[in-house]
Amino acid sequence: MRLFLISASLIALAAPALTAPAMAADSKPQIGSFGFDTAGMDTSVKPGDDFVAYANGKYFANLQIPADKTAYGMSSGLSDLSRERTRTIIEKVAASSGAPGSEAQKVGDFFASFMDEAAIEAKGIAPLKPDLDAIAAIQTKADVAEALGRNLRLGVGGPIGMGVGPDRKNPDRFVVQGGQGGLGLPDRDYYLDDKNPAFVAARAKYREYVATMLGLAGFDNAKARAEAIVALETEIARVHWTRVERRQAEKTYNPVPAADLATRFPGLDWSRFIAGTSIPVQGEVIISTPSSLEGIARIINGADLAVLKDYLAFLAIRDAAPGLPKAFVDANFEMYNKTLGGQPQQAPRWKRGVDLTSSVLGEAIGKLYVAEYFPPQAKAKIDELVKNIIAALDARLDKLAWMDPKTRVAAREKLAAFTPKIGYPDKWKDYSALSIVRGDLAGNLRRVAEFQFREAVAKLSKPVDRSEWFMTPMTVNAYANPTWNEIVFPAAILQAPFFDPNADDAVNYGAIGGVIGHEITHHFDDQGRKYDKTGRLSEWWTADDVKRFKAGTDKVVAQYAAYEPLPGKKINGELTLGENMADLAGVTIAYDAYQRSLKGRKAKVIDGFTGDQRFFLAFAQSWRTKYRDAALQQQLITDPHTASHFRPYVVRNLDAWYKAFNVKPGEKLYLAPEQRIKVW
């Protein structure tokens, strides 16, 4: 399913350490005396010169990124805590000897299969051999098309994507969607940019990696074959849409009758491709990137059959690697974590096992996680905070001078129809059709992929179930989904430093309030605004509304494009526009909501900090993250989020921040009142 996922980003935690939340009435905050780590500040820096350094400077100076991480900060530590808790749950479940077919049996046996390295080594590449034999038997380009389609059913990536998701112009039904697939390197620029030394080096390592994987699987002449595979991928990269192009919601909605696929995108046997997927394609397919699909079909048609077979073999090997012997796993780590992310050491196997088990059986584990770690008191308090933020946005919409009155009414109706999902699903996923066999990791991974694919395809014949979640309760993240007009906050993010029932209200509004405001206002950002109150992709704004709105978003693009996280490497203001808009609107709305929560009272001063200061400090604390250079380089190219340690600079657009910290003209972050961006 293609979703408009908006994460809370690669946020993170090193010190102070977090423990399970305490809910007693007299309990102290998890962090510091009021929910903020004052020891991490650098008060030698003026807030108006560098607010991030002022709020977080000593934290960054003392932070060492763990060897098994590409980045670390306040939310990575929270993820570590969630992972430790999840491990305890999994091990407890595994020890319970669940009945055959029960969720306990599946959770325990999947994790045990991942941890049984001896069994994996003993099987060698035998689990992969049927796939490689099938590829070796390919004789025609039509066979290639069917193999590419079959890959989708088996969860194997490839040059063409096809799947099932909500119809963005009729969100009460599911449709078949297609478009450009993935690449072996993170982005087209890694193949095509000859001026960036990091990309040139990554390409060289990638060629070595492809050769290594082929060699481990028994292919001879692996180096030359790898060169041909990378050359093929490079041609595919040339026709790929950029990430900025793919952000445009209306441009990625292109219905094509299934019967016309062959004439619209010649060069690929579409009937064989669809047969391989087993998707019952009828009527239309919604194509996201038509020109790239034309190019990819043409490239496949013109490619040498032997190279295409090697390419298919490589895709199969790479996909199967997590279930194969250590040599395959290590080769993947060297390429994707060490070379592209700068990560020195691989994470311990138990961590990888917990993460994989969580991704496979997340809601089976999640219901136990919620019962243990998300008390009803916490949910009640966060529900109240969400309502207050929605009310604050409604008040702003009601008085929004630049928006046409009719549009403003429709915007408020959209907000009124909004669905917040907090903590965990109302009903849990059914895993009864998934078979897990102890001691068969590769087979389990294959069965999981087919189970998930069947589950998605079955939605074509069912009513849309808007109660479904696309993150597990143990996930430290959040998302906005415009086609269902909702935001989703898993239980694991609703902990310090984001949310602590025992922390000062200013901290909770500045931290989780800023994130909640971020996700809610995504529904009104440059792309989210294109969906109406039912989640339908439609233009419900006037032309003048759009023009006035764009005048504001152009300023956001320009402001962020001036930031330089790496020497000579600036933020892509167009790629990150939606996230930056959501940060700006989110912190603005959260501040309004905090003021509403005071009900006219003046916030008390705590440890010398006013309520407004505590609000903005908490916002800055929540984005504490340090990156390895390679990971930051990849983020700048591929991630629609601004690097986390630059996100707090958005406060320079809020008048309240200037007043809170007495920011004066001449200080580096100072913007004259007329230069401060105010959209919502």
Q: What share of the chain is helix, strand, coil (3-state, %, to 5)?
A: 55, 10, 35
Is the per-residue pLDDT at 484 higher than 50?
yes
What pLDDT band is residue 97 in, cutting at 50, 70 and 90? confident
Identify whether the C-beta of residue 432 lies closer than 8 Å to the C-beta of residue 101: yes
Q: What is the pLDDT of residue 24?
A: 44
DSSP 553-606: HHHHHHHHHT--SBTTB---TTTTHHHHHHHHHHHHHHHHHHHHHHTTPPPPPB
How many helices, marked H, and strands, marked E, lie in the chain?
Answer: 26, 9
Q: What is the pLDDT of residue 12?
A: 29
Q: How far apart are CA 201 and CA 328, in angstroms?
A: 21
Q: What is the pLDDT of residues 329-338, one digit of tens each?
A: 999 999 999 9
Amino acid 207 reads R
Identify whether the C-beta of residue 606 lies closer than 8 Å to the C-beta of residue 653: no
DSSP 552-564: HHHHHHHHHHT--
Q: What is the pLDDT of residues 441-456, one digit of tens each?
A: 999 999 999 999 999 9
With CA atoms as reference, report the closest residue to 621 among 5, 26, 22, 34.
34
Q: How far apart are the first and last CA of the chain?
A: 31
Identify whether the C-beta of residue 34 lies closer than 8 Å to the C-beta of residue 503: yes
Q: How far apart are CA 640 and CA 526, in angstroms?
A: 13
C-alpha pair distances (Å), 262 with each of 265, 271, 295, 297, 670: 5, 8, 13, 10, 57
Is the per-residue pLDDT at 362 higher than 50?
yes
Average pLDDT estimate for 299-321: 98
Q: How far apart are CA 353 and CA 334, in angstroms?
A: 18
Q: What is the pLDDT of residue 318?
A: 98
Q: How far apart are CA 612 and CA 609, in angstroms?
A: 8
Q: What is the pLDDT of residues 412-430, one digit of tens each?
A: 999 999 999 999 999 999 9
Query: Which helix H or strand E contains 490, and what residues bound it?
Result: strand 486-490
C-alpha pair distances (Å), 231 with each of 183, 205, 237, 307: 12, 14, 10, 10
Identify whether the C-beta of residue 44 lies closer than 8 Å to the C-beta of residue 58: no
Helix axes 74-94, 349-360, angle to 10 degrees: 80
Q: What is the pLDDT of residues 637-669, one digit of tens each?
A: 999 999 999 999 999 999 999 999 999 999 999
Percent of the chain whose predicted confidence (pLDDT) is above 90: 94
Q: What is the pLDDT of residues 246-278, one digit of tens each?
A: 999 999 999 999 999 999 999 999 999 999 999
What pLDDT band is residue 2 in, cutting at 50, 70 and 90? very low
Query: Which helix H or strand E contains 517, and what residues bound it?
Result: helix 512-521
Q: How far apart are CA 388 and CA 366, in angstroms?
A: 27
State the Cα angle at 138 between 135 and 144, rounded to 5°.
Answer: 85
C-alpha pair distances (Å), 335 with each of 184, 224, 229, 565: 10, 19, 16, 23
Is the per-residue pLDDT at 25 higher than 50?
no
Comparing 4-8, 294-298, 324-328, 507-511, the range with the smallest average pLDDT is 4-8
Q: What is the pLDDT of residue 345?
A: 97
Q: What is the pLDDT of residue 94?
A: 85
Q: What is the pLDDT of residues 176-192, one digit of tens each?
A: 999 999 999 999 999 99
Query: Which helix H or strand E contains 130, and what residues bound it?
Result: helix 129-136
Q: How far apart are CA 591 and CA 583, in angstroms?
A: 12
Average pLDDT estimate for 477-503: 96
Q: What is the pLDDT of residues 231-246, one digit of tens each?
A: 999 999 999 999 999 9
Percent of the chain whose predicted confidence (pLDDT) is above 70: 96
What pLDDT band is residue 282 in, cutting at 50, 70 and 90? confident
What pLDDT band is residue 26 in, cutting at 50, 70 and 90? low
Q: What is the pLDDT of residues 130-147, one digit of tens each?
A: 999 999 999 999 999 999
Domains of the chain: 125-324 (1.10.1380.10)
Q: How far apart are CA 652 and CA 594, in angstroms?
A: 18
Q: What is the pLDDT of residue 20?
A: 39
Q: What is the pLDDT of residue 9?
A: 32
Average pLDDT, the chain: 94
**43 CB-contact burial (10 Å; exposed 0-12 / middle 13-18 / buried 19+):** exposed
Q: What is the pLDDT of residues 584-627, one digit of tens each?
A: 999 999 999 999 999 999 999 999 999 999 999 999 999 999 99
Residue 250 half-sphere exposure toward CB, CA atoms < 13 A = 8
Q: What is the pLDDT of residue 11?
A: 29
Q: Find where tokens 């298919």 sit.
A: 312
DSSP 531: B
Q: How far apart are CA 73 and CA 11, in angstroms?
A: 6
Q: What is the pLDDT of residue 210?
A: 98
* SS3 category, 254: strand
